[in-house]
Structure formats: C-alpha cells, structure tokens
Amino acid sequence: MQALSPALASWLADAILISHVAVVLFVLLGALAVPIGAWRRWRWVRGFRWRLTHLVLMGVIALQAWLGALCPLTVWEQALRRRAGEAVYRESFIEYWLSRLIFFEAPWWIFVAAYSGFAAFVLLLWWAVPPQRRAGKVS
C-alpha cells in the first residue's frame, strides 16, 4: 500500500475535523432535543437506539476526560496533519474555524467537570424522558 500524499492527508484531517464537529453537535443538540421533544411530543426523541447511542457516546467522552485521554478523532486528525507536513500554527480555512468552535484552552479539571456534568445531565434525561422500544420489535 502506498503512503498517503501530504495533500490527501490534509484533506482527510479536515474531513475528520468536520466529523468531530458533527459528533459535538449530535451530543449537544441531542441533549437539547430530548427535553424539547418531550414537551412538544416528538416521538423520535424517545427512540431507544438513538438515545442509547447518545448516552454511550457521552459516557465515553466523560470517561476519556477522567482518564486524561485525547479523543481518537483528535489523535487521528493530528497524525494526519503531521503526515501532511502542516505546522501547528499553519491551519486550513476549515481547521481554523471549526477548531475554534470545539476546542478551548482551559485547565484539565474544567473539562472533566464539564463532561461529567453533561454526562450526568444526559443520564438524567434517560430517566426523565425514558426511551421506548417499538412494540413488536426485538433489538
């Protein structure tokens, strides 16, 4: 197998960053959608698989924070940027703007507290707005 070209590595790093933003939006907007959807009687917010995915993802994020581990998406993106020969300070347009939306400079404990609190909120939503399995379906 031939090694990635720097241009392809840079493009893949941008694609991973976009995916990372999508994960962040899924977690944040999902947590907002559940209580709003319960109030508005949207049936999809009680979907079991969707809610389980949301809960497990937030649990993994909180666990990574407790362990001091970087998100695999961050690790892959950084490796690809190094492969592309991109310096830390040199950023593409996509990287520049999307990174500023999801990455912040703060002490480690702030992230642990924030992720843990958000995970507790998602778990509370599981109890307050319980998901429902479809009748007649075995998952």
Whole-angstrom distance, CA of residue 94 vs CA of residue 65: 25
The tokens describing 34, both together, are: 């559940």
Question: Using an 8 Å Cβ cutoff, are 27 and 57 in contact?
Answer: yes
Residue % of the chain over a pLDDT of 90: 53
Whether the predicted pLDDT of 125 surpasses 60:
yes
Classify the phi-psi angles of 95: left when phi > 0, otherwise alpha if psi is within -120 to 50, otherwise beta. Answer: alpha
What is the H or E stretch that residue 81 is in?
Answer: helix 72-83
0.85 exceeded by the pTM? Answer: no
Give bridge partners of residue 47 from the DSSP assignment: 132
- For range 37-47, the mean pLDDT: 96
